[in-house]
Structure 1
């Protein structure tokens, strides 16, 4: 068994299949072993794997490979289904295991022919080459609208035909079901069984779905199913050992293990899953009853509300995280002494007795900081919404509701009390894992997104995978209109209304992108006051998301939406709108990452269609206010409230987003380091996650 193999094109070195030191037949968890958290190793891998290839050389390589696939495909029309399937299995196995270019050409040509027969879709050159890069274990940057669904399906077919359990991982339930259904005819023609795992699939049936040749699933579900397997088989390292222990009653859970291992993953919206969601560890927990904790949390909030800034605490930028000062700690110590004295005097049972944390300094300080976060950091309609009497977290990057998630360490309960909701019990942690650690365990990891170049060094350092840019099938015809920087929110809203009216007057449809629910509602109110009909898509109105998005490209349509990144639903633009300039996208606020801005702008002018975009931001936008720093002060001193030249706006944008992304990257590194440290301690004690 070789430790490495030559890449299919360009001489890249790929991970061997299967990697050395992993006895597949005996190990219970078939996966790549953790390599540790070495900063120097991450830096070296990131530098080496993120080196860009010369564009001309990369284009020649892509064209040469695709030309061979197309030429071979012309000779396959006369094959019967049986002949095609037999040849596809043999070629797929050679291509996946050896990485030989010629085997890849044949495997892709055969699967491409099957897609033509079943779906009526003949994969374009970017889709063909993108599929091969996925099979080879790369991340690919493929522009919005270039056909990621078919690209992933072709690559998944090659993996599954090679006999490798394949996971196609998407960002939400809708996309997992939709993509599996759209490609079902192709999979059936090739004799492949397809499983689908999402929040609606019963827990007892999930092992059946993962047992299929390939499985479409969401990132959240696959990680939590993996953690459940780890908890159910804690301390067991082989299937034989698990069977013996179950026979002797030494394993409490009789639930069958769900996953067959982490073999081959194709991650859709890879930057969203691998980067944006990597700042928070995923925690498998068991709910506990709330009991009498409500009074304790109410007391915490009262104490936190009585504290004064900057006397007792300060809010540390850029995310205004509370930090206690010596005066604040002294105040808490005085309160703790008063409670002890009161309890000794009359035996009163207050919230301190219920929780038992006031007598321990670090515990009371932790909960007070959480209470300060609940009061001053987490904002309604931005970080969460109140839905049917419950606190529901809003995904910061996609604007989606996350009803099955909760904040840990008392924060969720404190926000519930703050909003007058029924309190839920704190959860008992059973297992935890970060996305970085989980996805790095796949024997072969690949993924795709429209925006990956900005994070190529980080993904290379953490996951040891190279990012490849796939050029679009047709050149972009997007028209970028001059950006505008306004002094405040009211002025910005007025400018947005004017821009929308101007685009409607020429016959374009308009998509207005916002960062938060509240921002979308503010702009909606401005459009309503101006008499402009429109539809709103945010965390409050997401039930008919696909239908709302499908209408966004129709004549006269204006859609106000929270961050469209990762929604994965195409916006079909009506012919009469295309004739008048296509879909017009308005970016109303810079995001913390320039990738998210590009994702929003990429909703228009797809596949060589006409389209336009304009950026309209204000100096009091959150990202500018928090991260502008000295650059903002210097430019304000020179240009005042505006108008600013484009180069000054570009300078401010780069400075603000650079500072925000640096902070987020540091947070991801801290999360990964903490996860590695915790796993090291658990391994030392003989436990697992």
Structure 2
């Protein structure tokens, strides 16, 4: 009560903060007369003057008023758009590293130019992150006019660019692109062998458009780069055939967690079927030997029972294409991981592509936290303000609208089942469309949008459907959704990026009706003027009909998505209307809603076709949404907790790689590894305080030969009077150093350094990849430690630390062994081998969903290396010998005699 009274008198903390920015706004306005008087050349030269002032030691905050006023004047001249005062406040908020919550239609794209320009002045680069490639290209071209007028360079990162093009874009003052593109470029850079081939430079600032979508929705899933493994198509098909024979009582489904497990009866039935198919080792499904079969069985169960065609994916041109749950778009080229995509392909009977192994990964949380300054903007962030601060240390500031909102948000209408609801929706749409009011209908899946389309056809309502099947036309459809009597069904309106203008959009009408005319020609201008007149008249009729009517066919899991849909109506003070229609069959109510007693009461008390509505029901729905939001937050938090462990290790490995690439010589590093290996061998064979006759000389001789390539008279040393372990260590080190010095003398100094760097980097990458696979497997099972009253995350940290130590030891031994046994011949360098296409994916370990937006994974994923694998051969291996004869003759941990540079067990000694 008292809090509400204080708020009514003094305003909320957000209101007070926004009010505190007014003095700064006044300073910006004060510069306007001076800047308006400048000619174009003088105004453009402002950038040079600002940079001179920064060089002289002036702080960037001191430049803010004049710099913002400069951008406002430049935008007025170049785009014919002058920033509103509330947009200037939004720009200040972005500059301060906070989130600006601005309603749809308030011009967030233009707001970003203010903070982007100011922070680009030092020349360190500003990244503007958008949710799709269309928006990145559009905004870079549209707002780029302002930046280029002021003398700044602009780049854009989109799929299918070469490394040179990417490097040029990142070296621009301002770079536009999607979150996935930036994240994958970071991972690819840290898989390269030369600093010169990397494309990104050190991070400075990022401004994220639709920040809630990028940093909240998509942050449940890490970015993953993976490479292909062996083909297992037959196994997938066999397991899928077995799963299709199981009955509903053989498994239990949990739709909340999107998980499914076999019952005891189901396990016995599966064992019998697997045994008949010859896929079971022994009699018990859960024996260690059947681990892989159990994994594939679980994925096939999920594919068949939890993933629905036309909701989670569609089959197009003989391929399974994922549907993005947030935007309803097709994710061409994207694949679920952990064998799930292959299981869905087996289910649908299409060609099964091979699985992939993780080679590099990072979460959005840890990627974006690397930026010294991070800010963002969206229409809906307040509901996740606590998470933004907790994870990213960013405050959410709600910016007032330029004009008062005139939209009416009506109470939800509640129906008994989906059929009744859709019948009522179709009648309501026809009623509003007949009086000329445009209707935007939001659905949660392709299936629902097509079902509604059938009902509208029965009612005789002309309409357009916007979903993953027709996403090529989405910008054109959205742009005209505000025309008189237009009815548009959209799977999801988040991040569509095109404003719905009442009466229609002139640019898109010209593209649709006069594609042959070029802008700027007299013919184009004549037609454009005629269309402008038609739009003005049509807008008047739409306003008279009540503006845009937004109709939601179902509540989404997140309140933000509902608010994004509602926000499409009532743009810039226009009138508007919104209402949601619900039923007991809706997924949100069925899975997360009130208990079954409530549902039974509703079913028994509501007649067919009858609708009810009350604030209590709306409150119940909101409670269900809060449950889902809390659950999703827990999932994201868990992803971060586990990735934080890996992130510390990732930093160590990536910094080590950078040090190796940047060093003029890595001789000292290799020498330290060699000496540590020598000390370890001697220490194991000659324990401190032991007598020479107690030493394990035979084991030491074997290890010295295998690890250091040395054949030393250790028997004779043991018989010396003054011998001790320290003296043995010293002799071994000297011999090892002499052997390597002899090898180095055979090559030019630069060539030898290149050889050492190559061996270091290749071993580092190989063991890091293996380490990632081990951590993935550990994360899948560590939750079982909870049964032993242990905290899974603490157990994961301890295990991951010891695994990391073991990995570093393995790298040291492999580098030392490779250099000791390698032989080098002076010959022309071999051509670079073709690397496999690395697949980029954005996989959710909890739900199996993938929302990566790269288009051509194969093209983008290629990591260009300039350093070929070393040509090595064992001195005792005759040239031309059949590799099959090496089995049993070559130690499995020794370098393969073929010269690949890999261990024998990973090369010609690999077990088929």
| Equivalent position of 2:588 in the other structure | 623
- 5+ residue gaps, structure 2: 1-10, 504-538, 653-803, 812-839, 841-912
| Equivalent position of 2:238 in the other structure | 299
Match of 1:318 among 256, 271, 274: 256
Whether 2:656 is the aligned partner of 1:656: answer no
Q: What TM-score, normalized by structure 1, do the two folds share?
A: 0.82
- List aligned pairs for 1:454-493, cutoff 5 A: 454-493=383-422
- List aligned pairs for 1:530-679, cutoff 5 A: 530-574=459-503, 575=539, 576-630=541-595, 633-634=597-598, 637=601, 640-641=605-606, 643-679=611-647
Name the CA distance, whole Å, in 1 between partners of 2:279 and 2:123. Answer: 70
| Kept in 2: contact 1:88–1:111 (CA 8 A) | no
Whether 2:325 is the aligned partner of 1:384: answer no
Name the CA distance, whole Å, in 2 between partners of 1:94 and 1:271. Answer: 36
More strand as a share of residues: 1
- List aligned pairs for 1:211-360, cutoff 5 A: 211-232=171-192, 242=194, 256-288=197-229, 291=231, 293-310=232-249, 312-331=250-269, 360=289
Name the CA distance, whole Å, in 2 between partners of 1:679 and 1:76. Answer: 48
Name the CA distance, whole Å, in 1 between partners of 2:202 and 2:184. Answer: 14
Of 424-433 and 86-95, deviating more is: 86-95
Question: Cα distance 1:514–1:343, how it changes in 2: closer, same or farther (>3 A)?
Answer: closer
- Secondary structure, aligned partner of 1:74: helix
Name the CA distance, whole Å, in 1 between partners of 2:241 and 2:59. Answer: 63
Question: Cα distance 1:100–1:638, how it changes in 2: closer, same or farther (>3 A)?
Answer: same
- Secondary structure, aligned partner of 2:588: helix
- 5+ residue gaps, structure 1: 1-51, 234-241, 244-254, 345-355
Question: Cα distance 1:341–1:130, how it changes in 2: closer, same or farther (>3 A)?
Answer: closer
| Equivalent position of 2:66 in the other structure | 106
More helix as a share of residues: 2
Q: Deviations over 1:385-411 (max 9, x none)?
A: 112111111110111111131100110
Of 514-523 and 76-85, deviating more is: 76-85
| Equivalent position of 1:129 in the other structure | 89
- Secondary structure, aligned partner of 2:569: coil
**Structure 1 residue 211: deviation in Å?**
1.3
Name the CA distance, whole Å, in 2 between partners of 1:448 and 1:499. Answer: 34
- Secondary structure, aligned partner of 1:232: coil
- Secondary structure, aligned partner of 1:544: helix
| Kept in 1: contact 2:219–2:364 (CA 8 A) | yes
Question: Cα distance 1:98–1:140, how it changes in 2: closer, same or farther (>3 A)?
Answer: farther
| Equivalent position of 1:169 in the other structure | 129
**Structure 1 residue 420: deviation in Å?**
1.6
| Equivalent position of 1:48 in the other structure | none
**Structure 1 residue 469: deviation in Å?**
0.8
Whether 2:152 is the aligned partner of 1:152: answer no
- Secondary structure, aligned partner of 1:306: coil
**Structure 1 residue 369: deviation in Å?**
1.3
Question: Cα distance 1:93–1:589, how it changes in 2: closer, same or farther (>3 A)?
Answer: farther
**Structure 1 residue 86: deviation in Å?**
4.8
**Structure 1 residue 522: deviation in Å?**
0.4
| Kept in 2: contact 1:209–1:215 (CA 8 A) | yes
Whether 2:442 is the aligned partner of 1:513: answer yes
- Secondary structure, aligned partner of 1:414: helix
Q: Deviations over 1:105-132 (max 9, x none)?
A: 2221122112122111110112111112
- Secondary structure, aligned partner of 2:472: coil
Whether 2:162 is the aligned partner of 1:202: answer yes
- Secondary structure, aligned partner of 1:323: strand
Name the CA distance, whole Å, in 1 between partners of 2:339 and 2:486. Answer: 44
- Secondary structure, aligned partner of 2:34: coil
Q: Identify which of structures 1 and 2 has the higher relative contact order when contacts are C-alpha pairs closer than 8 Å and 6+ apart.
A: 1
**Structure 1 residue 670: deviation in Å?**
1.9
Of 586-595 and 358-367, deviating more is: 358-367
Name the CA distance, whole Å, in 2 between partners of 1:378 and 1:188. Answer: 48
Of 658-667 and 388-397, deviating more is: 658-667
Whether 2:33 is the aligned partner of 1:74: answer yes
- Secondary structure, aligned partner of 2:499: coil
| Kept in 2: contact 1:92–1:103 (CA 8 A) | no
Q: Deviations over 1:50-80 (max 9, x none)?
A: xx95244134224333233122222221234
| Kept in 1: contact 2:445–2:491 (CA 8 A) | yes
Name the CA distance, whole Å, in 2 between partners of 1:373 and 1:274. Answer: 27
Whether 2:434 is the aligned partner of 1:434: answer no
**Structure 1 residue 218: deviation in Å?**
0.9
Question: Cα distance 1:228–1:386, how it changes in 2: closer, same or farther (>3 A)?
Answer: same
Which has more radius of gyration? 2
Q: Deviations over 1:27-51 (max 9, x none)?
A: xxxxxxxxxxxxxxxxxxxxxxxxx
Question: Cα distance 1:472–1:182, how it changes in 2: closer, same or farther (>3 A)?
Answer: same
**Structure 1 residue 555: deviation in Å?**
1.0
**Structure 1 residue 164: deviation in Å?**
2.5
| Equivalent position of 2:43 in the other structure | 84
| Equivalent position of 1:449 in the other structure | 378
| Kept in 1: contact 2:233–2:354 (CA 8 A) | no
Of 72-81 and 551-560, deviating more is: 72-81
Match of 1:63 among 17, 22, 41: 22
Of 493-502 and 201-210, deviating more is: 201-210
| Kept in 1: contact 2:203–2:371 (CA 8 A) | yes
- Secondary structure, aligned partner of 1:613: strand
Q: What TM-score, normalized by structure 2, do the two folds share?
A: 0.63
| Kept in 1: contact 2:430–2:459 (CA 8 A) | no
Question: Cα distance 1:482–1:334, how it changes in 2: closer, same or farther (>3 A)?
Answer: closer
Match of 1:393 among 296, 312, 322: 322
Question: Cα distance 1:633–1:569, how it changes in 2: closer, same or farther (>3 A)?
Answer: farther
| Kept in 2: contact 1:95–1:101 (CA 8 A) | no
- Secondary structure, aligned partner of 2:489: strand
